[in-house]
Structure 1
């Protein structure tokens, strides 16, 4: 039995060391090892990509690049356009048993924008329909804070964050996914 690390090193645009989003100590069965961040550097997609007048775009991959700065100007945040049902998704490459998802909220503003976002584990990108498992809902958080959503071993290849049934923007700063190899389905 291992525990998730309290923090892990990551980079900032200037190359200085910083602490990545971390979770409170949560026990995760992982054959004696800490559960790795399965999302780091994996392919991502989102419902749309917002580009600000400053020329910076909220590219979906910013949420899994390890840049924990949390500010728009640091190119640390993903961002969709204002739209109905915005979503962001990461492809883990294969199916895993997902234990938890950690979302770092944008630091420079807009913490309220993620209120009501749901975390889904499924077999299709952007899937937050009935065919995916809903781990939980993010409630209002202060700018720069972390939300840890337990998924209790839900099986899936894709993790999707969505704000269903609302016209909204979605702009997480960093997303970590923790889990282990899935067991065979019966």
Structure 2
């Protein structure tokens, strides 16, 4: 009987630790943010696969109004990210002046990593795709930050596309 439990555990552990090799790299991975405005606005809601832009449905993340708010996803593995797609909340206002950063460092909550793209403006409830810095950016963490502004950051869906790039995963 215990051998069956061990086999089930090993299969579940392997599934839980598998990394996506194609499609949305950010789907169902770990996410966090600088603060939470309301219990409906937790960070994982921005990677739940639901693109509904109505915050009240419970599918969007939202920080409190604060200076330089950020949201971050941990891919758990190292990727070469080429494209990031962001959908904003229809009642959260425009997203403007933000940065998408990707890298292996958690220094300054990931805000010291390389810039993938700068967001001039995504209208409320809009979706926009960003190509990462020419040929893509390498890293484990993707951070979206609105530097030097006193705003709430509201994201309804964040997707990242790229390729797994093996290296010493525990190096950083």
Q: Same fold (TM over 0.5)?
A: yes
1:150 aligns with 2:137: no
TM-score, normalised to structure 1, is 0.72
Matched with 1:70 is 53
Matched with 1:60 is 43
1:80 aligns with 2:63: yes
Matched with 1:170 is 153
What is the Cα-based RMSD across aligned positions, in Å? 1.8
Q: Deviations over 1:57-98 (max 9, x none)?
A: 310000000111111111011000111110000000111000
> Would you identify which runs of 4 or more consecutive aligned residues in structure 1 move more than 4 Å?
none
Higher helix proportion: 2
Matched with 2:31 is 44
Larger radius of gyration, structure 1 or 2?
2
Structure 2 residue matching 1:57: 3-state secondary structure: helix
Q: Contact conserved, 1:86 with 1:170, CA < 8 A, in 2? A: yes
Alignment of 1:92-111 (within 5 A): 92-107=75-90, 109-111=91-93
Task: Note the residue ranges of structure 2 that are not aligned, 5 or more in a row.
Answer: 1-20
TM-score, normalised to structure 2, is 0.78
Q: Contact conserved, 1:111 with 1:141, CA < 8 A, in 2? A: no
Task: Note the residue ranges of structure 1 that are not aligned, 5 or more in a row.
Answer: 1-33
